[in-house]
Copies of this chain bind each other. A is one copy, B any other.
Amino acid sequence: MRKTAGAEPSHPLFRQVYEFMLKRIERGEWKADDKLPSIRQLADELGVHRLTVFKAYRALSENGKLYVKDKSGYYVTPGSKLDRNIEEGAGVAGYRVRSPMSDIQRLPVTYQFSQALIDPGLLPNLFLSDYVKKVFDLYPKVMGTYSSVQGDEELRTTLSSHFHERYRLQLSARELLITSGAQQAINLIAGIMLGPMDAVLVERPTYSVALDIFRRAGARLVAVEISPQGYDLAAVEELMRRHKPRMFYINPTHHNPTGYTVPAKQRKLLVELAERYRCLIVEDDPFRDMYFLEEPPPPFFAYDTEGWVMYISSFSKYVAPGLRICAVACRYPFMERLIAAKSLADNGTPLLNQKIFLHYYTSPRLQQHLGKLRIALQVHKEIMEEELAATGWEWLTPQGGLSLWVKLPEAVPVDKLLARCLEHSISFVPGEICDPLGEMKSWLRLSYSFASEALLREGVRRLTAIAREIEAEEGS
C-alpha cells in the first residue's frame, strides 16, 4: 500500500485537499450531518486523483471531522466549529478576530495612556514641512515614481552608515529593507518564517500585536520570562533544544511593556545560542534612542557573526511616525525572502515618504530634536510617577522608553479599572493582552509619551481616583 501510495503522482496534493475539505466544514459550507459528495465527484471538482480524495476523507474521519454511515458514504461530524480552530491558532484566513489591543488603542479618549506613541506636539512638525519642500525641489517627479521594492537606495545607504556610527552595526545598503512601519516588518518576517505549529519564542510580557501576528500564522507561542536582569539563558537554551523554535522575537532595549533592558553580557551569549540552535533572533528596537541617562548596550545584531539576527529599527517613531518608515537589517538569504514577501505585499514603500525621511533625518535638526525629546519624555515620565506615588502600586522606574509597567494590588481588578476608565475617557493597556499565556491580570501598561503634560497629570489623577473608588467598593 505504501509503495503504491509513494508511486501515486498526485499525492503531494494530499495536504491541500485535506485542508480544502476541512475549510468547507469549518466555514459551514458542509454542515453537520451533511452527506459529502462522492469521491468521484470531488476528485472531478478539484481535478485531483480519486485516491487522494479517498485518503483525505479517511484522514478527516480519523481525526473526527467526518463519520461514515454504514456503506452510504461520508457525513460531517457535528460541532466542527471555526472558532475552536482559531483558538488553536490555525489562523484560517479572513476569520481572524481583531486584536483587543488595536481596539483599545483606537478608542478616541481624552486621556490617552494606551498608545506608546509620542505626543505629536513634541515632534518638529514645522521644520518637517521645509524638508518636504526641499524634497520636491530635489525630486520634482517623486510623486510619479515608484520606489524599488527594497527601498530607496540613497536612504538605505545613509541608514547603513548611521547604523554603523550610532549602533556599531556592520552592514551594507543591500542588507537593509525599508518597510511601512515596524508592524509591516514583523508581519513580513512572520510570513517568511512561521507556519502552523512552528514554535516561536516570545518574551513574557511582550508587544501584543506581535502575538496576534504570530497566532495568525498558526505558530505555537513559547514564553520566555523577561526580568530586569534579562532572560534566564539556561531556560532559553532548554526551550530552544526542546521546541526547535524558528525564531525568538525580542524587544530587549527599553522593552515594551516593562521598560527593562537586557544587559550587554547576555546579548553575546544569546546570539551564540541562536546560532547553535539555528533560531533566528528578531530584534525589534524602536526605543533605543529614547533613553534618559545613558545609552543602552549595542543591539544583538552587533554581536551576530553568522546572520542569525534580524534587526527592526523603527526609529522614525520619534522623527515622523506619520511617515511610517522602518528599516529591517538582515543577511542573505533571509533578505532575499523578505524582499520577495515585500514585493507581493505592496511592491515597495512610497518613495515620497522615504525621501522626506531621508532629508529630515540627515539634518542637524534631528539631533537637536532628539536631545529635547529625551528631556520632554523624562519630564512626562516623572509627572506620571509623581501622580502614582501615593497609590502604593508597584513599578520599576524605566531608564528609557515610553511606558510604565505597573502592578496593581489584588483589591483593584484591572479589567474593572479599565472598564470604568473608558467610561471616563481614560485608556491604558491591560497586562493580560501582553502576556502570551494570557495571564498577568494584575498588570497594566501606562504610556506617558502621548498625552500632553497637562492631560497626563489630570488623567493619572482621575485614574487613581477611580482605582480608589473600586478599592473601596471591593473592600466593602
State which residues 200-250 of A face B: CB under 8 Å: 209, 212-213, 216-218, 220, 242-244
- CB-contact partner of A352 in B22, B29, B187, B322, under 8 A: B322
CA A320 – CA B140 in complex, angstroms?
Answer: 12
CA A129 – CA B119 in complex, angstroms?
Answer: 27
Q: Are B322 and A2 in contact (CB under 8 A)?
A: no
Render A39-67 as a binary contact track against B, CB cut-off 8 A, 1 for contact: 00000111100001001000101111001
On whether A197 and B350 interact (CB within 8 A), knowing A63-B14, A125-B140, the answer reads no
The answer to whether the Cβ of A92 comes within 8 Å of any Cβ in the partner chain is yes
The answer to whether the Cβ of A99 comes within 8 Å of any Cβ in the partner chain is yes
**Chain B CB within 10 Å, residue with most, of A52, A126, A142, A322:** A322
Q: Are A98 and B15 in contact (CB under 8 A)?
A: no
Chain B neighbourhood of A1, CB < 8 A: 62
Chain B neighbourhood of A142, CB < 8 A: 125, 322
Q: Are A20 and B141 in contact (CB under 8 A)?
A: no
The answer to whether the Cβ of A391 comes within 8 Å of any Cβ in the partner chain is no
Q: Are B180 and A77 in contact (CB under 8 A)?
A: no
The answer to whether the Cβ of A136 comes within 8 Å of any Cβ in the partner chain is yes
CA A142 – CA B126 in complex, angstroms?
Answer: 10
CA A173 – CA B314 in complex, angstroms?
Answer: 31
Chain B neighbourhood of A97, CB < 8 A: 340
Q: Are A242 and B45 in contact (CB under 8 A)?
A: yes
- CB-contact partner of A183 in B63, B90, B106, B346, under 8 A: B346
State which residues 344-372 of A face B: CB under 8 Å: 344-347, 349-353, 356
The answer to whether the Cβ of A33 comes within 8 Å of any Cβ in the partner chain is no
The answer to whether the Cβ of A268 comes within 8 Å of any Cβ in the partner chain is no
The answer to whether the Cβ of A262 comes within 8 Å of any Cβ in the partner chain is no
On whether A23 and B118 interact (CB within 8 A), knowing A63-B55, A125-B141, A180-B180, the answer reads no
Chain B neighbourhood of A244, CB < 8 A: 29, 45
Stretch in A5-13, A414-422, A439-447 with 4+ CB within 8 Å of B? A5-13
The answer to whether the Cβ of A110 comes within 8 Å of any Cβ in the partner chain is no
CB distance from A213 to the nearest CB of B (A): 6
CB distance from A360 to the nearest CB of B (A): 9
CB distance from A30 to the nearest CB of B (A): 11
Query: Which residue of chain B has the shortest Cβ distance to A244 in the bound complex?
Result: B45
The answer to whether the Cβ of A466 comes within 8 Å of any Cβ in the partner chain is no
Stretch in A143-151, A302-310, A396-404 with 4+ CB within 8 Å of B? A143-151
On whether A88 and B197 interact (CB within 8 A), knowing A322-B146, A341-B94, A350-B353, the answer reads no
The answer to whether the Cβ of A275 comes within 8 Å of any Cβ in the partner chain is no
Stretch in A188-196, A289-297, A425-433 with 4+ CB within 8 Å of B? A188-196
Chain B neighbourhood of A22, CB < 8 A: 15
On whether A93 and B193 interact (CB within 8 A), knowing A45-B242, A143-B123, the answer reads yes
CA A195 – CA B146 in complex, angstroms?
Answer: 30
CB distance from A351 to the nearest CB of B (A): 5
On whether A67 and B2 interact (CB within 8 A), knowing A144-B322, A196-B16, the answer reads yes
CA A212 – CA B347 in complex, angstroms?
Answer: 13
Q: Are A93 and B16 in contact (CB under 8 A)?
A: no
- CB-contact partner of A195 in B23, B141, B321, under 8 A: B23
Chain B neighbourhood of A63, CB < 8 A: 5, 11-12, 14-15, 52, 55
The answer to whether the Cβ of A393 comes within 8 Å of any Cβ in the partner chain is no
CA A136 – CA B133 in complex, angstroms?
Answer: 10
The answer to whether the Cβ of A164 comes within 8 Å of any Cβ in the partner chain is no
Q: Are A128 and B148 in contact (CB under 8 A)?
A: no
State which residues 258-304 of A face B: CB under 8 Å: none
The answer to whether the Cβ of A120 comes within 8 Å of any Cβ in the partner chain is yes
The answer to whether the Cβ of A457 comes within 8 Å of any Cβ in the partner chain is no
The answer to whether the Cβ of A38 comes within 8 Å of any Cβ in the partner chain is no
Name 9 interchain pairs, CB-CB below 8 A, sorted by A.
A14-B63, A16-B90, A19-B195, A46-B220, A98-B339, A102-B149, A121-B141, A123-B143, A128-B136
New contact pairs (9) apart from A93-B195, A352-B356, CB-CB < 8 Å: A12-B64, A19-B195, A55-B62, A59-B59, A99-B344, A120-B145, A144-B322, A146-B321, A346-B346
Q: What 4 A-B pairs come out closest when comparing CB atoms?
A: A94-B192, A120-B144, A20-B197, A6-B64
